[in-house]
Structures are given as structure tokens and as C-alpha cells.
């Protein structure tokens, strides 16, 4: 999962062109992308992946984009999908897709309310 410095710079510059303040942080040979403290994307093997849930996964599937599989084709599917290269060249579209991924990260970060706590039996 290596990331070339030039590709990381390119991705961060493209996201900055959209008006987003993003930072990258090295992780497990790849790079995690953060908006404030929200981990919403990653770069692995010079491919960008955005965080998905049921709200934005259909957008990726409609374009036949692949999920992130860190352990190979037969391995586990993670909650991230590949970003199409043409989106990286279109600031307006990239902003829409990135905003959706950031929203997914925000929802995932919310604490879940514990069920059944506080009840006496």
C-alpha cells in the first residue's frame, strides 16, 4: 500500500482547489485524509478511496467503481470506494463527492446510544 509523494501532493492540491482544508497522515503504508478530525478518505497504491455508507455507495456503484480491499480481491471489503480519476480533475464534482464522504465520516463518528442501559430488570 505505498503512496508516491507526488500523487499525495496532487490529491491534496486537487482537494484544496475545491475549497476543502484537508490534511494527510501516513498510516500502514498508505495515507489517511482528514477534514478537521474526520477520517473520510484514504490513498493506497496511488488510488484515492472515499468513505461510503448507504447514502453514497450507489453513486460509486453506478460508475462501477471498486471498493477498497486491503487484502486482495478475495479479501474483506472496507467501507471505502475508489474515486474516479476524472473527478480529481473536476473541482466542482470532486467537492460534491468529498462532501458526501465527509458527511458519512461525521455520521459514523456519532456516539451510538446504548440500548437497554438504565433499565432495571
Question: What gap in Å lies between CA 24 and CA 35, rounded to an integer?
Answer: 9
All structural domains of the chain with their residue ranges: 5-109
Question: What gap in Å lies between CA 113 and CA 32, rounded to an integer?
Answer: 27
| CATH code of the region 5-109 | 3.30.1460.30
Q: What is the pLDDT of residues 83-108, one digit of tens each?
A: 999 999 999 999 999 999 999 999 99
Q: What is the pLDDT of residues 2-53, one digit of tens each?
A: 899 999 999 999 999 999 999 999 988 899 999 999 999 999 999 999 999 9
Q: Are strands 47-51 and 22-27 parallel, antiparallel or unpaired?
A: unpaired
Question: What gap in Å lies between CA 94 and CA 114, rounded to an integer?
Answer: 36
Confidence band for 119, pLDDT divided at 50, 70 and 90? very low
Q: What is the pLDDT of residues 57-85, one digit of tens each?
A: 999 999 999 999 877 787 788 899 999 99
Supply the mean pLDDT for the chain: 89
Amino acid at each position: 500500500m505505498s503512496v508516491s509523494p507526488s500523487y499525495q501532493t496532487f490529491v491534496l492540491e486537487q482537494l484544496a482547489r475545491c475549497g476543502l482544508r484537508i490534511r494527510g497522515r501516513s498510516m500502514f503504508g498508505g495515507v489517511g485524509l482528514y477534514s478537521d478530525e474526520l477520517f473520510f478518505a484514504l490513498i493506497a497504491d496511488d488510488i484515492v478511496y472515499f468513505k461510503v455508507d448507504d447514502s453514497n455507495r450507489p453513486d460509486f456503484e453506478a460508475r462501477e467503481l471498486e471498493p477498497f480491499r486491503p487484502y486482495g480481491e478475495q479479501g474483506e471489503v472496507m467501507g471505502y470506494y475508489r474515486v474516479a480519476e476524472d473527478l480529481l480533475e473536476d473541482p466542482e464534482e470532486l467537492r460534491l463527492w468529498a462532501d458526501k464522504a465527509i458527511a458519512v465520516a461525521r455520521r459514523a463518528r456519532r456516539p451510538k446510544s446504548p440500548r437497554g442501559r438504565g433499565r432495571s430488570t
